[in-house]
Amino acid sequence: MSDVKLVELLTLETLEEGLFRGQSWDLGFRALFGGQVLGQALAAAQLTLPEGRICHSFHSYFLLPGDANKPVVFDVENVRDGRSFSSRRVKAIQNGKNIFYMTASFQTPEKGLSHQSAEMPDVPPPEEIESDIKVFASKSAPKRMCESDGYHKPIDMRTVDYVDPTKAVVQEPKRYIWMKAQELLSGNINLNQVMLAYASDYHFLSTALHPHGVANKDKNLIMATIDHSMWFHHPFEFDDWLLYCAESPFSGGARGLVRGQFFNRDGKLVASTMQEGLMRKIGGEQ
């Protein structure tokens, strides 16, 4: 399993015009990994575009838990192709039911007014941090995740100040993770975006648990992504390191809100994310 390729997972089968099928990986979670559906849905939309259109944003809702043991069918609606922008709606379907919905917008690249006020945090470089999968494997990792560890290896993740996610520790609601794809992406903008969409769901919502001292494997905790949005600001190379800076500005009403920023090694902000998810503690404080 160690040689599994994420590029293959994100390469879809064309069933007919606007209709595609993607295979699934079981990563050892309770349901289908949301990042898989994000990446595959974006890949499906890309297959219907005029040449040269690049995604600048997508907004999505997770409607039902997905089954990691079954493929996913993606139905793409061409909403509009304008002079410089294209819009697509994507439905992800399993067992005849819509489990996910995405609206994505694409643009022909052009120059314009530009600024960046976001600053990249001062953190150790990835070369000085051990990979998460090695650290996690050395601790009491859940059996199902250990059995599926090969499916986690295509993205090298290295968390700054790693804390065992199975432990209930009160922390500041922030997380910094160096990430890069293990496969060569050859400067393919679309593939880089799809890969980053996949990776953007890793360890994201659980950042909202930090100030509450609740482990994300707590048996009395129910967590599920409700929506996930992403904006792409600049082209990037995801086969080189990007720093994912996640923070949670709010939780309440059994929901947690998280936002993230991806910086390249030069400190350029290349993408931003937002997510809200269910964060329900059964029989305890909400």
Burial degree of 239 (CB within 10 A; 0-12, 13-18, 19+): middle
pLDDT tops 60 at residue 146? no
Supply the range of the domain harboring residue 64. Answer: 6-109+129-281
Total domains in the fold of the chain: 1
Comparison of pLDDT for 147 and 126, the residue scoring more: 126
Confidence at residue 168, expressed as pLDDT on a 0 to 100 scale: 79
Dihedrals phi, psi of 35, to nearest 5 degrees: -60, -35
Name the pLDDT band for 140 (thresholds 50, 70, 90).
Answer: low
Nearest CA among 45, 46, 44, 25 for reference residue 34: 25
Confidence at residue 278, expressed as pLDDT on a 0 to 100 scale: 96
Following DSSP, what letter does each residue of 47-88 receive, concatenated?
TTSPTT-EEEEEEEEE-S---TTS-EEEEEEEEEE-SSEEEE
Q: What angle do CA 175, 180, 183 make, to 5 degrees?
A: 155
Q: Is residue 124 part of a domain?
A: no
Specify whether the CB–CB gap between 101 and 90 falls below 8 A. Answer: yes
Give me the active site residues, please: 201, 225, 275
Give the tens place of pLDDT for each residue, 256-275: 999 999 999 999 999 999 99
Q: Is residue 119 part of a domain?
A: no
Q: Is residue 1 part of a domain?
A: no
Name the pLDDT band for 1 (thresholds 50, 70, 90).
Answer: very low
Q: Is residue 120 part of a domain?
A: no
CATH of residue 65's domain is 2.40.160.210
Q: Is residue 121 part of a domain?
A: no
pLDDT tops 60 at residue 22? yes
Residue % of the chain over a pLDDT of 90: 80
The DSSP letter of residue 173 is S
